[in-house]
Chains A and B, each alone.
Chain A
Amino acid sequence: MAQNTTAQHSTAQGAAAPSPAEPSPATAGAEPVLTVRDLQVSYQTDDGPVPAVTGVSLDLAAGETYAIVGESGSGKSTVALALLALAPIVGGEVRLAGRDLAGLSRHELRRLRGREIAMIFQEPMTSLNPVLTLGYQLIETIRLHQPLDRAAARGRAIEMLEKVGISDPARRLAQYPHELSGGMRQRVMIAMALSCNPRVLVADEPTTALDVTVQAQILSLLDDLRAEFGTGVVLITHDIGVVAETADRIGVMYAGQLIEEAPTADLFASPMHPYTRGLLASVPRVDLPPAGGPLAALHGTPPKPGKAPPGCPFRPRCGEAMDVCSTMPPLTRQGLRSVRCWLHDR
């Protein structure tokens, strides 16, 4: 891959010009299950509208894991919510299996969520109803979306709990969320999310609240289920290690924008955006002895939503900022990669 960059570079110049909103192709030939074009999300606050996401475009192929990484306030969780039309979308479009979410009624959206696209959250305790048994919640979810009678739905619930590695699933159905550990609850959430075999699973920091040994179990489980069901997974995380291990492609977000997108190996081998480079360099390595001297750290802090400076939002923290950076750089595509930085605009 590394030897090809110069060749790709020259062909990329022509390709970059026509539509900067077009993201890189997910995988050659495969029809994406989810396409996002120039997504704009803005929250109404007492101080007026605050733009949380400005112009994000991406494609997700079936069976692919696309990771969105970024720090707090970068807009990554807002993108996740927007994929289910749960955030106030003010521009652009989200298409799921060819259907534009904006054109759907509330009733149609409700039918879509769960069946076509499902979501799991960081905190599995607050996502489950504490006063209902797991069985009630699982069976209700299944019957809401599938024409199954109670007994068949119960069978399906047991089957799903088995799939996510919960022992003695029939007995678990009678238990309440508080009787389970955090890892077990997240398994139940995954079982619930996948019970209707959705095309897309949105996982927002699914392992952040879990211990590292349990995190390893859950990541491994998600990967197995993705392979088995062919579900496309959008993984939202701030953990660079988790991304390296699970993602096929990565989009890096900063201040509401996708500033770089690349296949996982390429991004780690040669990050292009100065922010991506700084981010990767500031992660301490658990598998290597410390290099000695201070850690490579980005200076400053990310801007608050809506408070980004004009032009490139990373400019105040960037060691390579130029005069031109006071205007917004375009998204430049180079082969399977794209980057929003004047350093790479040719």
Chain B
Amino acid sequence: MTAENASPLLQVEGLSQRFAVERDVFGRPSQWLEAVDRVSLDLRRGETLGIVGESGCGKSTLARSILRLTPPSAGRVVFDGVDLATADAATLRRMRARMQIVMQDPFSALNPRRTVGASIGDGLSGPGRRARVRELLEKVGLSPEDARRFPNEFSGGQRQRICIARALGPGPDLLIADEAVSALDVSVQAQILNLLAGLRQDFGLSFLFISHNLSVVRAFCDRIAVMYLGRIVETGPTEAIFNDPVHPYTRALISAVPIPVPGRHRAARAQLLPGDVPSPLNPPSGCRFRTRCPHADAGCAATAPALDPVAAERHVACLRLPVLPRGPVWQAPDTKEAASC
């Protein structure tokens, strides 16, 4: 993966993040929660990588570890050639300016007592600061006069635009969007996605796009990494994965999404997963998906599968590759509809 043209913008190697959830009488951790377990991924310059998975799979923790908002327990994060763990404080500050995050809830992400202009200006310095704030507001589709207003005067979609303007302030190379459109209404969600796509092009941004919404991910991302209980189970180019999901979890996840076409979804029902995601406090041994997997056998409990290549740019962590069903989870669209007309 590393042999391609330029070096990747972001390299994550064997990243683990664990939290002590219980301590003994001496204050030593006695039980750990492994939120992220040895995750490795590369993000190329100008690329959008989607991180998908259900709640508790560790996708938000991964984002926070990459930014060192919670320093990772193990592993390396290399941003533009600089290892963030060993970088000195000044370098880390410089690097952080180049990696910004937009969070899910635009209501709690802005200080209600400060004007929008003051919030956006936080990441800026120097004499041109005020002009830059106005320019940023225009970039995200708001008016320069909005700088004087307070967050409560804006709708959810407009607030998310403000958060995006604030993130763009320091001129980042990497934007991490952590469920950035999930709290928005459908019609507003499309507006914000279009805005992000435009900014991606204008500023040459790279994206780490964290979402549980697979429809949005398919519309926005170049590549995808699918996470389950703290581990990546499958990575690959977006269209390759949607047309031929390999890991049983990826197949189940994609086929569980209701399709906005009446009657089209039913065929995929056969892939309905039993049960719930196990507790990350006590994950299954071996392959963590085996307790819900229709293809699991005894070997899956013994060995944790590694992320192995299955095709060009595609990696899957599964011991049962030869027996897995392949191909699209839905029948080709419109064949039936066209035939009936």
Give the residues from 199 to 213 in chain A that come closer than 8 angstroms, CB to CB, to chain B: 211-213
**Interface contact A279-B218, CB-CB below 8 Å:** no
A241 at the interface (CB under 8 A from B): yes
Q: Which of A220, A286, A295, A297 contacts B259 (CB 8 A)?
A: A286
Q: Tell me the bound Cα distance from A299 to B198 in angstroms.
A: 16
**Interface contact A220-B185, CB-CB below 8 Å:** no
**Interface contact B258-A241, CB-CB below 8 Å:** yes
B3 at the interface (CB under 8 A from A): no
The closest CB in chain B to the CB of A70 belongs to: B185
Q: Tell me the bound Cα distance from A215 to B276 in angstroms.
A: 11
A181 CB, nearest partner CB in chain B, Å: 4
A176 at the interface (CB under 8 A from B): no
B146 CB, nearest partner CB in chain A, Å: 14
A285 at the interface (CB under 8 A from B): yes
Q: Which of A219, A283, A299 contacts B186 (CB 8 A)?
A: A283
Q: Tell me the bound Cα distance from A211 to B214 in angstroms.
A: 12
The closest CB in chain A to the CB of B157 belongs to: A301
Chain B residues lying within 8 Å of A302, measured Cβ to Cβ, are 185, 187
Q: Tell me the bound Cα distance from A241 to B330 in angstroms.
A: 15
Query: Which segment of B77-85, B89-97, B265-273, B307-315 sits at the interface?
Result: B265-273
A268 at the interface (CB under 8 A from B): yes
A9 at the interface (CB under 8 A from B): no
B242 at the interface (CB under 8 A from A): yes
**Interface contact B186-A289, CB-CB below 8 Å:** no
Q: Tell me the bound Cα distance from A160 to B190 in angstroms.
A: 41
A108 at the interface (CB under 8 A from B): no
B295 CB, nearest partner CB in chain A, Å: 16
B163 CB, nearest partner CB in chain A, Å: 16
Contacts A211-B55, A282-B187, A295-B194 hold; do A268 and B239 have CB atoms under 8 A apart?
no
Q: Tell me the bound Cα distance from A216 to B261 in angstroms.
A: 16
Contacts A212-B54, A213-B273 hold; do A289 and B239 have CB atoms under 8 A apart?
yes
Chain A residues lying within 8 Å of B262, measured Cβ to Cβ, are 244-245, 264-265, 268
The closest CB in chain A to the CB of B194 belongs to: A294
Mark interface residues in B148-160 (1 if CB within 8 Å of A CB, else 0).
0000000111100
A278 at the interface (CB under 8 A from B): yes
**Interface contact B258-A183, CB-CB below 8 Å:** no
Mark interface residues in B239-266 (1 if CB within 8 Å of A CB, else 0).
1001000000000111011111111111
A227 at the interface (CB under 8 A from B): no
Give the residues from 210 to 260 in chain A that come closer than 8 angstroms, CB to CB, to chain B: 211-217, 219-220, 238-245
Q: Tell me the bound Cα distance from A299 to B141 in angstroms.
A: 11
Give the residues from 170 to 213 in chain A that come closer than 8 angstroms, CB to CB, to chain B: 181-184, 211-213
Q: Tell me the bound Cα distance from A279 to B214 in angstroms.
A: 18
**Interface contact B187-A181, CB-CB below 8 Å:** no
**Interface contact B260-A283, CB-CB below 8 Å:** yes
The closest CB in chain B to the CB of A266 belongs to: B262
B82 CB, nearest partner CB in chain A, Å: 34
B191 at the interface (CB under 8 A from A): yes
The closest CB in chain A to the CB of B239 belongs to: A289
Q: Tell me the bound Cα distance from A134 to B68 in angstroms.
A: 41
B216 at the interface (CB under 8 A from A): yes
**Interface contact A245-B185, CB-CB below 8 Å:** no
Place the interface of chain B in its size category: 35 or more
The closest CB in chain A to the CB of B329 belongs to: A287
B91 CB, nearest partner CB in chain A, Å: 38
B57 CB, nearest partner CB in chain A, Å: 9
Chain B residues lying within 8 Å of A282, measured Cβ to Cβ, are 186-187, 189-190
The closest CB in chain B to the CB of A294 belongs to: B194
Place the interface of chain A in its size category: 35 or more
A296 at the interface (CB under 8 A from B): yes
Chain B residues lying within 8 Å of A244, measured Cβ to Cβ, are 258-262, 264-265
**Interface contact A284-B218, CB-CB below 8 Å:** yes
Q: Which of A220, A240, A278 contacts B272 (CB 8 A)?
A: A220
Q: Tell me the bound Cα distance from A265 to B260 in angstroms.
A: 11
Mark interface residues in A272-290 (1 if CB within 8 Å of B CB, else 0).
0000001110111111111
Q: Tell me the bound Cα distance from A284 to B193 in angstroms.
A: 10
Chain B residues lying within 8 Å of A215, measured Cβ to Cβ, are 256, 258
**Interface contact B276-A184, CB-CB below 8 Å:** yes
Q: Tell me the bound Cα distance from A282 to B193 in angstroms.
A: 11
The closest CB in chain B to the CB of A214 belongs to: B276
B212 at the interface (CB under 8 A from A): yes
The closest CB in chain B to the CB of A217 belongs to: B272
Chain A residues lying within 8 Å of B54, measured Cβ to Cβ, are 211-214
**Interface contact A241-B188, CB-CB below 8 Å:** no
**Interface contact B218-A211, CB-CB below 8 Å:** no
Chain B residues lying within 8 Å of A285, measured Cβ to Cβ, are 215, 218-219, 259-260
A77 CB, nearest partner CB in chain B, Å: 14
B155 CB, nearest partner CB in chain A, Å: 5
B322 at the interface (CB under 8 A from A): no
**Interface contact A290-B219, CB-CB below 8 Å:** yes
Ordered by A's residue number, 26 sampled pairs between the chains whose C-beta atoms are within 8 Å are A181-B277, A214-B54, A214-B276, A216-B272, A217-B272, A220-B269, A220-B272, A241-B265, A242-B258, A244-B259, A244-B264, A282-B187, A284-B193, A285-B260, A286-B214, A286-B259, A287-B259, A287-B264, A289-B239, A294-B198, A297-B187, A297-B194, A298-B191, A301-B158, A302-B185, A302-B187
20 new A-B contacts, CB < 8 A, other than A211-B54, A217-B272, A283-B186, are A214-B276, A216-B258, A238-B186, A240-B186, A240-B260, A241-B215, A242-B258, A244-B258, A244-B264, A245-B258, A265-B263, A280-B260, A282-B186, A282-B190, A294-B197, A294-B198, A297-B190, A298-B187, A301-B155, A301-B187
List B residues at the A interface (Cβ < 8 Å): 54-55, 155-158, 185-191, 193-194, 197-198, 212, 214-216, 218-219, 239, 242, 252-254, 256-266, 269, 272-273, 276-277, 330, 333
